[in-house]
Structure 1
């Protein structure tokens, strides 16, 4: 097939653009080509002049039979003037544009089919490429459509080529330079079906096709209202539950800050409107998300997603914390716009993601409340969404055209890499031996935050309101420090394949230390201060305590602007993942009881193991982890607080925790006691029994809050009707009755009416005993025979055949034995 090129060397029409952008943009367009295809005159649209491709001298080349100019015989008056003509190609042909400044460019192709005596453009079928890169394949349309692409142009000439299967057509073309830093080539959060990874390829090197551009909470924005002549459509048609959202708007212009978004990233009007949580009519305490579903094209699986934020709902800084979910994965936890925008309200900000939708045909975006919010009415917002298909994914631009170079460089580089590995291994061995021989000095090796204070060096004020204890363990913090180099080796330099989880604090990696100990490495975002109070609290708490049913802190690292916590590795993950959700394996009733008993032991030790005790403040199924033998351990002490002193009844503090698990009395009065943990644990008990989330906003109103809903069934004596179907036929009636009564008491409205964790533990072991040994239950009354507590220091007597003995450990000083039936308990009165 003959190739015919239509060379257009057009003069950029900069004057109207400068007028249009004078109040909104500080960048100058190096390249700006606007072409009205098939037109013999110029056309002005949105204050921009499109040159007719027949106005250039020498354009007689266009009439050689391979392409023709076509006029629309029935062009409606309300349609854009750009669609009154078209250029039709009957053989492969190209437009060529001189490029003054290489870099990222936007390409817009306008298609509006019409019928004439010669051609019916509705039946055309063709492909389009840019410098040989496919943009459209076997394309045809029945309707007016604008196709926008963003592409890296690294040559002095850009060719837009049309390859007809029968014939091709185009109505108008726009090509212009993208603003500087339109894309920042840095590792991007990569959302995959089962979690989050890191996308390390440069976004600017990819070919992107715009799929959706949404003005969330606002009206349609036309090119005339946008600095880059984009169209933004309202979000209403994409909202899953419209009643969950409420529009927020402002008349004040956004406070643009260096390092944040600019008017070229999105126009003012996008950041001046948003959707927020519709919490005006909520009468009970529970969480819900706002969710949008954005449909995708067939076969498209990799997408670039840009979310726009601007806090126009808060009255002061640090009021708004929320979570962002993409395809039901926590894409960004505890988002704090105040911190990201340098503590300026109403300052625009955007966050980029790459999403593997695995041909699901949709990108689901949700925003919902964060546990960090201290506001009585939690909130979450979203201002704008852009979704682009990553076409012809390029893993590396080095590619095939440099293969010959690698033939020579490969052996050289390979030798250098091998030498470096040998040197690194030797250095690691040296440092490991040096660490064993000498305890490292604590100092300020990082620059991102205030380092941990050495015991006795200063007052506790530096550790923030969330600090649980005033001093480290008997060996101080020094024994817990792990060199950064050791952590790098343990995680193979933070290999993405070792990621086992993520959260607002950062990524969690599986690692193996030099002594072959498996660990979970929680790495904060390097250089970020977010999560610093929790980081310090976690070290403070876990350096003081050790217990079989509390996740152990192996160590921490505070070097090179890093905040890293290293825990014992919990093979089976969170309890929640074994109750519901994708790919879960149901637990037996006995397994669930033993898990609850283990967690209760851990919480009971927190409450009674020191003079003031420790209140966890965030008991929930995701913070109860399971080892390879399904032994449960309580985790995540970042929100923990010291309990009240002996002459006090409570601790006055801001409300923190997770909705659905949050003690309503604590929420109302902001007075924290250990009974707040008891309430949260009561919700976990019903979660274990019913295998459903603590809050599920998609259910009917009376079912949204698990604690309230299950409590109603318990009070009616019909608890067996809402249990997990996998448990039907497994639970003895007496065991279920006692379990329901225990959970009900935990959820009493007032803390004074709730049992202590010691009482809860005792009752749960009774539940297990009733399940396994019906002989202790009176056949007439169903009452349980009294079993006396053994005296302090005595070894309790257990029924014949009882063999399981576990040891609780508290800094090596506790020696308390328990059985599978009853525990010897430290009572709160002994504190």
Structure 2
């Protein structure tokens, strides 16, 4: 028995060493952080955003689309990337050279500050890699909006296209992030309704983050996440507040070889909402979503409450469907506590435009009734029209994997606009001359004998 305990301790220490080595900071091959419209670099959350225009690996098309705006009265707590913006008055694009193909995070920052342009009146669309990311999009005055996506880049360029809507003729962006993600972040195949879904490989789809939640803990900022993500508390989504109890674990979180802190930081696994004793049989959260899409849901678990193995068994539900029956965290983690585990599913929302997430104790189980959840991520998948934002507008054009077709179209459109602007004064002059000729009076010549 003593030898067995010693072996178990040695194995735990070995896993801890592997965990510490695997938790080293991730260095993305592609890491573009652009402070759009800014003539100088800026720093936000310890990260450097480069001035716009950036180095030669980023180009803006057409080259004439260099309209910048500056926030004349920024508040003292407003990050510097929201002090400036790049303005587009006709279809334009950013093109990023890609060093390593694969999954990339695209994060777009919008803040319509007051200035020479009424940015809150801008209505526009954003396209990339054949997907419509934003359609007829606008931002209310003084509202800060961040949109985050995952896309699979299969060529050596990623092109982001900004297309102002007819009637608005205005688009803008304050900052852009294009960053390589680890290959392990997005799986190829995900469970759907209890079956393996082979029809939709996630690598062929675009994903938009809708909710990223830290259960039972505080907000996690990009400073404390190796992939610079933001995790918000779950307080506003708890349906059964009385049945939930926040727990925090101060010990080490042991990552294993197949799971690193890029999946989720240790702060997510150190906190949890736990089923309160004698207060109901489940904990439920309700998250608003849009109809017409499927959603990729990732559950984060870590047993930080048990004092011994095999004490925690519970069910996991999505909209009443039992997604995971009799989950035993000691079993799925090969007999370890404080050991992260995550599980992925693809689901559809209910008729009320929501996803109801629950963890519940087993009925009649022999151990103490309990359940927990540490973290949750909900991603929207593009619909059948390759859109993440409703039906694509007429500006949306099918693109190949590199986005070159749209880039070429934007250059062509820009050239047409420049030509029209160049000949417009000549047209005005010609019209004025024609009108002047029509308005010249004439006098009837006198005929002999007439007075």
The bucket for the TM-score relative to the shorter chain is 0.7 to 0.9
| CA shift for structure 1 position 203 | 1.7
Distance 1:358 1:206 in 2: 22
1:295 to 288, 291, 315: 288
Is 1:168 matched with 2:205?
A: no
Instruction: Tell me: CA distance 1:369–1:94, structure 2 relative to 1, closer, same or farther (3 Å).
Output: same
Question: What does 1:340-359 align with in structure 2 at a 5 Å threshold?
Answer: 340-359=332-351
Match 2:371 to one of 368, 375, 380 = 380
For CA contacts below 8 A with separation 6 or more, give which structure has more relative contact order.
2
Residue 358 of structure 2 corresponds to 366
Residues 1:98 and 1:225: Cα distance change in structure 2 (over 3 Å): same
User: Would the aligned equivalents of 1:41 and 1:54 in 2 still touch at CA under 8 Å?
Assistant: no
More helix by share: 1
Residues 272 and 36 (structure 1 numbering): CA distance in 2 closer, same or farther, change over 3 Å? same
Instruction: Give the secondary structure class of the aligned counterpart of 1:364.
Output: strand
The question of whether the paired residues in 1 share the 8 Å contact of 2:61 and 2:92 is answered with no
Contact 1:125–1:140 (Cα < 8 Å) also in 2: yes
**1:540-581 CA-partner distances (Å, limit 9, x unpaired):** xxxxxxxxxxxxxxxxxxxxxxxxxxxxxxxxxxxxxxxxxx
**Counterparts of residues 195-274 of structure 1 (less than 5 Å):** 196-200=194-198, 201-259=200-258, 261-274=259-272
Change (3 A) 1:151 1:232: same
- Across the aligned residues of Structure 1 and Structure 2, the Cα RMSD in angstroms comes to 2.5
Distance (whole Å) between structure 1 residues aligned to residue 252 and residue 65 of structure 2 = 51
Q: Distance in 1 between matches of 2:57 and 2:33?
A: 19
Residues 26 and 71 of structure 1, relative CA distance in 2, 3 Å threshold: closer
2:192 alignment counterpart: 190
Work out whether residues 206 and 392 of structure 1, in 8 Å CA contact, stay in contact via their aligned partners in 2. Answer: no
The 5-angstrom pairing of residues 8-407 of structure 1 reads: 24-25=23-24, 27-54=26-53, 56=55, 66-117=65-116, 119-142=117-140, 143-165=143-165, 166=168, 167-186=170-189, 188-191=190-193, 196-200=194-198, 201-259=200-258, 261-279=259-277, 281=278, 288-297=281-290, 299-371=291-363, 373-375=365-367, 377-393=368-384
> Equivalents in 2 of 1:373, 1:223: separation in Å?
41
SS at match of 1:181: helix
Higher strand share: 2
Distance in 1 (alpha carbons) for counterparts of 2:60 and 2:301: 50
Distance in 2 between residues matched to 1:59 and 1:218, nearest whole Å:
39
How many angstroms does 1:294 deviate by? 0.5
Give the secondary-structure state (helix, strand or coil) at the position aligned to 1:246: strand
Measure how far apart 1:253 and its partner are: 2.1
Report the TM-score, using the length of structure 2 for normalisation: 0.76
Cα 1:374/1:136, change in 2 over 3 Å: same
Distance change (3 Å), C-alpha of 1:372 and 1:175: farther
Q: For residue 130 of structure 1, report the CA deviation from its aligned partner.
A: 1.1
Q: CA deviation at 1:131?
A: 2.5
In structure 2, do the counterparts of structure 1 residues 394 and 349 end up closer, same or farther at CA, with 3 Å as the change threshold? farther
Partners in 2 of 1:175 and 1:343 — Cα distance? 39
Q: How does 1:633-712 map to 2 (within 5 A)?
A: none
Question: Would the aligned equivalents of 1:95 and 1:160 in 2 still touch at CA under 8 Å?
Answer: yes
SS in 1 for 2:184: coil
- Quote the Cα distance in structure 1 between the aligned partners of 2:302 and 2:156: 38
Structure 2 vs 1, CA of residues 148 and 171 (structure 1 numbering), >3 Å: closer, same or farther?
A: same
Could you tell me which residue of structure 1 aligns to residue 3 of structure 2? none
Structure 2, unaligned runs of 5 or more: 1-19, 387-397, 401-451
What does the per-residue CA deviation read over 1:735-783, in whole Å, with 9 as the maximum and x for residues that have no partner? Answer: xxxxxxxxxxxxxxxxxxxxxxxxxxxxxxxxxxxxxxxxxxxxxxxxx
Number of residue pairs the alignment of both structures matches: 364
Equivalent residues of 1:107, 1:151 under 8 A apart: yes
Distance 1:270 1:320 in 2: 19
Distance 1:393 1:342, change over 3 A: farther
Contact 2:293/2:383 (8 A) holds in 1: no
CA spacing shift, 1:63–1:74, aligned 2, 3 Å: farther
**SS of corresponding position for 1:237:** helix
Distance in 2 between residues matched to 1:251 and 1:322, nearest whole Å: 24
Equivalent position SS for 1:262:
coil
- Paired with 1:215 and 1:145, the residues of 2 have a C-alpha distance of 20
Distance, in Å, in 1 between the alignment partners of 2:249 and 2:314 is 20
Change (3 A) 1:370 1:317: same
3-state SS of 1:82 partner: helix
Shift in Å at residue 369 of structure 1? 0.7
1:300–1:141: structure 2 CA closer, same or farther, 3 Å change rule? Answer: farther
Instruction: Determine the C-alpha separation between the residues in 1 that align with 2:153 and 2:56.
Output: 27
State how far apart, in whole Å, the 2-side matches of 1:217 and 1:204 are. 31
Structure 2 CA distance for partners of 1:63 and 1:357, relative to 1, 3 Å: closer
Please say which of residues 333-342 and 26-35 is displaced more in the overlay. 26-35
Taking the aligned partners of 1:350 and 1:252, their CA distance within structure 2 comes to 19
Deviations 1:477-517 (A, max 9, x none): xxxxxxxxxxxxxxxxxxxxxxxxxxxxxxxxxxxxxxxxx
Find the residue that maps to 1:271 and give its secondary structure.
Answer: helix
1:340: Cα distance to partner?
A: 0.9
Which 5+ residue runs of structure 1 have no aligned equivalent? 1-20, 402-831
> Displacement of 1:22 after TM fit?
9.1
Rounded to whole Å, the distance in 2 between the matches of 1:49 and 1:124 is: 28
| Contact 1:239/1:292 (8 A) holds in 2 | yes
SS at match of 2:43: strand
Q: Kindly indicate whether the alpha-carbon contact (under 8 Å) linking 1:67 and 1:91 is maintained by their aligned counterparts in 2.
A: no
Paired with 1:307 and 1:73, the residues of 2 have a C-alpha distance of 43
CA deviation after TM superposition for structure 1 residue 356, in Å: 1.1
Aligned residue for 1:52, secondary structure, equals coil
